[in-house]
Every structure is written in structure tokens, then in C-alpha cells.
Chains A and B, each alone.
Chain A
Amino acid sequence: MRLALKRVSLTRLVPVLVPIGAVSLALLVGAGMLAALGAPPLEAYKALVVGAFGSTNAFADTLVKATPLLFVGIGICVSYRGGMINIGGEGQLIMGALAATVAALQLPTWPPWAIIITCLGFGFLGGAIWGAIPGLLKAYLSVNEILSTVMLNAIAVQGMNYLLAGPLIDPLQISRGTRIPETARFSIAADLPRLVPTRLHAGSALAVLLALIVWGLLWRTTIGYRIRAVGLNPHAARYAGISVNFYAALALTLSGALAGLGGAVQVLGLHHRMFTDGSAAGFTGSAGFNGIVAALFGGLHPIGTIPASILFGALLVGANKLQRTVQVPSALAIALNGLVVLFVVGSQFWSRRLAQTMPEEAAGETASPVLQPSRPTQEGL
């Protein structure tokens, strides 16, 4: 009896323990890399943790960095639950930010709340369009969404570069002749409320709120039920009279919209202008990719994605500080991130295996963090 109880609780822990083990393993490899670079690993990791959580400002920076990851991550939860693999977070962030930027530059005289809501709405729409294109292409022309979202990332970057170097450029950059590709600072009225003196802004709270809403949407509404049904088994869903094409496209559209909102929040809450260094990462900081990692790590569950985003936000902020304290290029963080992704997706093999060998539990919403959208199964329907 006691043994059985113990096993059940272990089954519950598997979805959490295995990814943590995977991350630890990735960090261990990272320690090897640090040692090879001549930086003492323990000291470096200590600097990383202190850099991410050591002070109010550091912790606020971590949360600020986690915010776009959370927006992208909860979007990823929606699309992956609907069986759509969205690699287009980068492009969707950029399009959302661009749309919000256009709105913010055009509406200088309204009351702040109206400006902010309009700008956020534009961001939502910009991202939604960038999600709907691959969604519709997949649903109606069976264009692989992995490829189309990757292409749309590149198109968004070029669109951003074009707009910021020309139509949207700060007039000052032209009169001064510097021509740095960035917009003018938005009117103060468009600034999201901020927790002075830190850089923490209301966008972070909005992200958490949206995570709750998306959780409700996915598990407490018919739309969410249908999205998940389509993701779990499109054939069964079709048989049940659900329009598979529509809900698959909707999942990717919503996913893009949430990422787009994240982009809008970045410009309204943090930068107060839009800028580019020519690459996607220059603006997004690779949040479009890291958000996928956070969602995966959070078990493809919007609530689980919250702590996961904070963890990866901390990794990024800490790695930046690392650069200053132990002179290790912050590119290490990107490499480490990649390792974490590889180890976490790889570790799901063990999650599945352990889940199989242990007594089955009801397949509720907390179950199935194992990602297999391309391989529909019967469970849970």
C-alpha cells in the first residue's frame, strides 16, 4: 500500500523531474565548456545566479527578460496543443511590435489608456496575421508550417529593416545625418506603467494574466476543447464533426497573436521605440525561439510556462552579467540554450518510458507534457 502511494506520487513528479534532470545535465556540459574557456565553472554559475536574482534590479531584469518568452510560450502552448509546430515566434514578435509602433507613432493626442489599448490591439493583430498566413497555408494548401514560419521570420526581419530605415525612421536621424535605423521615441502617453526604479513594467503582469486566460480557454471552453482534439487526433476530431482545418489554422493564428502582443509589450513597456541591427535577434533577443523552449519546459501548459520563462529569463540575464564578471562571451547563453532544448526534448523519451512503467493515472490536463503533435494518439479524447 505504502509502496503504491509512493509510486503514484513519483508518476506525478516525472513530468517535472525529468526536464530538471535534463537541464542539470545541460548545465553540466556548460560547466565543461566554461572550464575549457578557462573560467572556473562554479564561480561562473554563481555569478550567473547572482546576476539574475542577486538584487531587486537584477530580479526585475530577469522578469523583464522572461516577459516576451512567456508571451511566445503561451502562444506555443496553444499551437502545439492544436498540432501546429510554430517556429515563427521571431517574426510574429517583430510584426506585433511593428504594428504597435505604427499605431504609437500615429496617435499622439488620445488619453494614455486609449493609446495603450489601441497599440496592444495592433500588436495582437500584427502577430495574428503572421500566424494566420502559415495556419491557412497549412490547413488549405498543406504547406509545412515549420518551413513557412521560418520563411516568414526572414520576411518579417526584412520588412522591419526596410520600414525602420525608411518610412518609420526617426526624423532626427535624417536631419542629423546619422540614419540609425530606429523610430522616434513614442509619446510618453504610450508608455506602459512601470515599477520605478526598476525596469519592470505592466507587460509582465499582462503576460501572467494571459497565461491564466489561455489556460481557461484551452481547458474550459469548447474552442479550446476542439483545438486540443484536433491536435491529439485529427481523424477522430473530423469524425466528431470538428472542422480540423479551421481549428488548426485558429491555433496558429492565436499563437501568432499572443507573440505579437509580446512584441507590442516590448516596445511599449521597455524600449519605447523600435530599432533593428539588421538581424531578428537584434530586436527579439531570440525570444521567439526561447519561448518554445520555455513552453516545452513548462509541459506545454500555460501555467507551467510561467516559472519556465522566469528560469530562462534568469539564464539570459545571468549570462550577460557573466560576460562582465568572468569575461565569457554571452554567446555561451545561446549555446547553453540550444543544449537545454536538445536535452529537454531528448529527455521526453525517458518521461514516456517512466510513465509507461508506472501505474497509469487519469490523463488530465497535467498529464501529457510529452510532445508528439505529429503523432496523434487516442488518449484523452
Chain B
Amino acid sequence: MISELFAPTVLIGILASGIRLATPYLYATIGETLGQLSGVLNLGLEGIMLMGAYAAFFVVFQGGNLVLALLMAIVVGAVLGLLMAFVSVTLKAEQGISGIGLYLFGLGMSDLLFQTTIGSVKTVEGFQNIGFPAFLVQLPVLGPVLFRQNILTYVAFLLVPIAWFVINRTTLGQKIIAVGQAPEAADSLGISVAGIRYLTVTVGGILSGVAGASLSIALLNVFQQNMTSGLGFIAVALVYFGAWRPLGVMLGSLLFSLVNALQLWVQALGIPIPSDVAVMMPYVLTILALALATQRSANKPAALTKPFARGE
């Protein structure tokens, strides 16, 4: 039975779904990378994702179009990102805990809204695969893997070079790194530490909102209570795993989504590995990866989780 797993069609299937499943991780991790590089750990991604997922789903469910739904997720993400920034930056709260607060708020609020406005699990028409020319779609291997995905997946992968460019080749990126590594020095050079952190955390919130929307109106096309089931927390860990580099974070996301895809196929093929044990594997993998990765985290932001106050 295990040998079925290595049939070409199955391998291609795993690759294709792995790339598709990487979508929410990519949005969430790229956003979280920006925040963490500036020194803010947003542990509440999961809550923002749930709210984004709900907001987008609700718009489509009411008959709104997909772009409007995406916009709604962006607005919700921005508002919650601003809230996190206010609590973490202005009020200088302990970030590990304010993040839990944001998570619980998003978890409860999205469920509350879901129960009062939608009620039961329903499906919607989400983003469809992009209509590439037939010869591309029909390509062996590359066709299903690269040319049968929806727009949100392509944009997610496009974000990786964009984030790399912003971080490494723009003044803004250098300011973000300066604020995360040496806020006192950055402040003395006239960079607004709070301003940069507000910006990165809000952008992180927006991307988390989109990450949620990618689940509810592109990948799964449903909304359910707690539908992210830990994805947001894993995204936070993947940023450490990827050592705060967009490329590293992308590799982490892909690794994770491929393991997930593999696990789904193992279940689909009825291979006798208890599914609970299979689901556990990505988490074990993450802990192991963290144990190895933190040894070489030279570009870990020195001021991560440390609120900044001008020397008083």
C-alpha cells in the first residue's frame, strides 16, 4: 500500500496540493516576518486569520463579489493589526500574552458572528483556477503543479521576492531591521520606532486577514468555527524556522504544506497510519526544526518582543 504513495500521479498530486496549501502559510508568515524583524511578535495571527476568513466568506455568502470579499478581509486584518500594534507598541504589553488575547478574541468573535449571521456550514463559489492556455494546463507534471492554481496562490508566492526586495533593497527595509536590532540607535538617528512597528504590524495584520480569506474563499470555500486549527501559530514558528528571511520562510511554509499534503494523501489512500499520528508529525517536525534552527539565528532581531521606551 505504501508503494501507491510513490506512483507518479500521487506524487504530482502531493506536489500540487502542497503548493496550494502553502498559500495561507505564505501570507501569514511573510506578514509576521515583517513584524518580527521590527521587533514585534504577533502571536495573535490565528485570531486575525479567523476574522479575515469569516469576513471574506460572509461577503461572498451575501452575494458580494470576490474582490470585495478580499477587501473586507484586508480591512478587518488592518483593524486587528492596528489593535495589536496599539497594545504592543503604545501600551508596551507583554507580546506573548496580548497575542493570546487577540487569538481568543478572534476565535470567539468569528464564531459568534458565524452563528448569528450564517448559522450552519455552507459552501460558496470561491476563487477558481486561473484559465491558462490549454497547452500549459495539459503539460505533464508542470501543468497540474504550476498552472492549475488560483490567483491567491500566485500572489502569495509573488510576495516572497517582493518582501525580499523591500527588506534588503529599500530604505524602509533597512529601517525595519534597524528598529528590530537596535531601537535606541534607530531612534537616535531620527527613525520613528513606533511608526515603523505600527506599519509592520498593520501590514502583518492585513496579510493575515488575506491568509484567512485564502482558506475560506479559495482553498476550502467554507467557514467553520476554529477552521484555521493552529495554522496561525505554526506560521509564527515558521518565521523563526525561516530565520527571518523571506526565502527561508517560504521554504518552511512549503515543507510544512507538503508534509500536510502527504498526510492528506496517506489518509485518502487508506494507508494504515493512524491519522492522528500523521497530523502530529508537522508539529513534531517544527519543534525539531526550531531546535536546530535557533542555533544559527544570527539575524534574529535583538529587540524581538521588547517594547521600546526612550531612555527615561
Which chain A residues have a beta carbon within 8 Å of chain B's beta carbons?
Answer: 33, 37, 85, 87, 137, 141-144, 146-148, 150-152, 154-155, 158-159, 161-162, 165-166, 279, 281, 286, 289, 292-293, 296, 328-329, 331-342, 344-349, 371-375
Is there contact, CB below 8 Å, between B276 and A137?
no
Is there contact, CB below 8 Å, between A345 and B98?
yes
Known: A137-B287, A143-B294, A329-B115. A338 touches B277 (CB 8 A): no
Is there contact, CB below 8 Å, between B87 and A342?
yes
**Which of B1-9, B11-19, B230-238 sits within the interface?**
B230-238
Shortest beta-carbon distance from A108 to chain B in Å = 27
Of A144, A296, A332, the contact of B240 (CB 8 Å cutoff):
A144
Q: Mark B183-220, 1 if CB is under 8 A from A, else 0.
A: 00000000000000000000000000000000000000
Q: Report the Cα distance A265→B86, complex, angstroms.
A: 39
Of A85, A155, A334, A375, the contact of B107 (CB 8 Å cutoff):
A334
Of B90, B102, B294, the contact of A144 (CB 8 Å cutoff):
B294
Sample of 6 more A-B contacts, CB < 8 Å, known A289-B103, A331-B225, A338-B100: A147-B233, A155-B280, A329-B116, A337-B105, A346-B87, A348-B93
Q: Report the Cα distance A281→B108, complex, angstroms.
A: 12
- Chain B residues lying within 8 Å of A158, measured Cβ to Cβ, are 276-277, 279-280, 283
Of A137, A279, A329, A338, the contact of B105 (CB 8 Å cutoff):
A338
- Chain B residues lying within 8 Å of A162, measured Cβ to Cβ, are 274, 276-277, 280
Q: Report the Cα distance A25→B66, complex, angstroms.
A: 36
Name the residue of chain A whose CB is nearest to the CB of B103.
A338
The yes or no answer to B247 lying at the interface (CB within 8 A) is no
- Chain B residues lying within 8 Å of A338, measured Cβ to Cβ, are 47, 100-109
- Chain B residues lying within 8 Å of A341, measured Cβ to Cβ, are 97-98, 100-101, 104-105
Known: A329-B115, A372-B94. A143 touches B105 (CB 8 A): no
Name the residue of chain A whose CB is nearest to the CB of B297.
A142
- Chain B residues lying within 8 Å of A342, measured Cβ to Cβ, are 83, 87, 93, 98, 101-102, 105
**Interchain pairs with CB closer than 8 A, number:** 169
Q: Taking chain B's interface residues, is the majority helix, strand, or loop, or is none over half, making it mixed? A: helix
Of A37, A137, A333, the contact of B108 (CB 8 Å cutoff):
A333
Known: A141-B295, A159-B276, A279-B229. A335 touches B96 (CB 8 A): no
- Chain B residues lying within 8 Å of A154, measured Cβ to Cβ, are 230, 233, 280, 283
Known: A150-B233, A161-B276. A292 touches B283 (CB 8 A): no
- Could you pull out 12 A-B pairs where Cβ atoms are within 8 angstroms? A33-B112, A85-B96, A141-B295, A144-B240, A151-B233, A151-B283, A165-B276, A279-B229, A289-B103, A335-B109, A338-B102, A346-B87
- Chain A residues lying within 8 Å of B233, measured Cβ to Cβ, are 147, 150-151, 154
Sorted from nearest, which 5 A-B pairs have the closest CB atoms?
A338-B105, A334-B108, A341-B101, A335-B108, A338-B104
The yes or no answer to B226 lying at the interface (CB within 8 A) is yes
- Chain B residues lying within 8 Å of A279, measured Cβ to Cβ, are 226, 229
Is there contact, CB below 8 Å, between B236 and A329?
no
Is there contact, CB below 8 Å, between B294 and A332?
no
Is there contact, CB below 8 Å, between B108 and A331?
yes
Number of interface residues of B (CB under 8 A): 53
The yes or no answer to B91 lying at the interface (CB within 8 A) is yes
Known: A331-B115, A335-B112. A141 touches B294 (CB 8 A): yes
Is there contact, CB below 8 Å, between A349 and B43?
no
Is there contact, CB below 8 Å, between A373 and B94?
yes
Shortest beta-carbon distance from A168 to chain B in Å = 12
Known: A144-B290, A342-B83. A349 touches B93 (CB 8 A): yes
B residues 113-139 with Cβ under 8 Å of A? Answer: 115-116
Is there contact, CB below 8 Å, between B294 and A142?
yes
Shortest beta-carbon distance from A171 to chain B in Å = 19
Is there contact, CB below 8 Å, between B96 and A146?
yes
Shortest beta-carbon distance from B269 to chain A in Å = 19
- Chain A residues lying within 8 Å of B279, measured Cβ to Cβ, are 158
The yes or no answer to B284 lying at the interface (CB within 8 A) is yes
The yes or no answer to B148 lying at the interface (CB within 8 A) is no
The yes or no answer to B286 lying at the interface (CB within 8 A) is yes
- Chain B residues lying within 8 Å of A161, measured Cβ to Cβ, are 276
Of B100, B115, B306, the contact of A374 (CB 8 Å cutoff):
B306
Is there contact, CB below 8 Å, between B290 and A147?
yes
B residues 262-301 with Cβ under 8 Å of A? Answer: 274, 276-277, 279-280, 283-284, 286-287, 290-291, 294-295
- Chain A residues lying within 8 Å of B236, measured Cβ to Cβ, are 147, 150
Q: Report the Cα distance A348→B24, complex, angstroms.
A: 34
- Chain A residues lying within 8 Å of B101, measured Cβ to Cβ, are 293, 338-342, 344-345
- Chain A residues lying within 8 Å of B98, measured Cβ to Cβ, are 341-342, 345-346
Name the residue of chain A whose CB is nearest to the CB of B307.
A375
Shortest beta-carbon distance from A69 to chain B in Å = 14
- Chain A residues lying within 8 Å of B226, measured Cβ to Cβ, are 279, 281
Shortest beta-carbon distance from B289 to chain A in Å = 10
B residues 15-46 with Cβ under 8 Å of A? Answer: 41, 43
Of A148, A281, A328, A372, the contact of B287 (CB 8 Å cutoff):
A148
Q: Report the Cα distance A337→B109, complex, angstroms.
A: 10
Name the residue of chain B whose CB is nearest to the CB of A323.
B115
Known: A151-B283, A154-B283, A292-B100. A336 touches B108 (CB 8 A): yes
Is there contact, CB below 8 Å, between A292 and B97?
yes
B residues 221-267 with Cβ under 8 Å of A? Answer: 225-226, 229-230, 233-234, 236-237, 240
Is there contact, CB below 8 Å, between A371 and B306?
no
Shortest beta-carbon distance from B297 to chain A in Å = 9
Is there contact, CB below 8 Å, between A289 and B105?
no
Shortest beta-carbon distance from A296 to chain B in Å = 7
- Chain B residues lying within 8 Å of A155, measured Cβ to Cβ, are 280, 283-284
- Chain B residues lying within 8 Å of A331, measured Cβ to Cβ, are 108-109, 111-112, 115, 225
- Chain B residues lying within 8 Å of A337, measured Cβ to Cβ, are 104-105, 108
- Chain A residues lying within 8 Å of B94, measured Cβ to Cβ, are 85, 345, 348, 371-374
Shortest beta-carbon distance from B252 to chain A in Å = 12
Known: A338-B103, A373-B94. A143 touches B290 (CB 8 A): yes
Shortest beta-carbon distance from A141 to chain B in Å = 5
The yes or no answer to B149 lying at the interface (CB within 8 A) is no
Q: Report the Cα distance A372→B108, complex, angstroms.
A: 27
Of B43, B107, B109, the contact of A146 (CB 8 Å cutoff):
B43
- Chain A residues lying within 8 Å of B284, measured Cβ to Cβ, are 151, 155
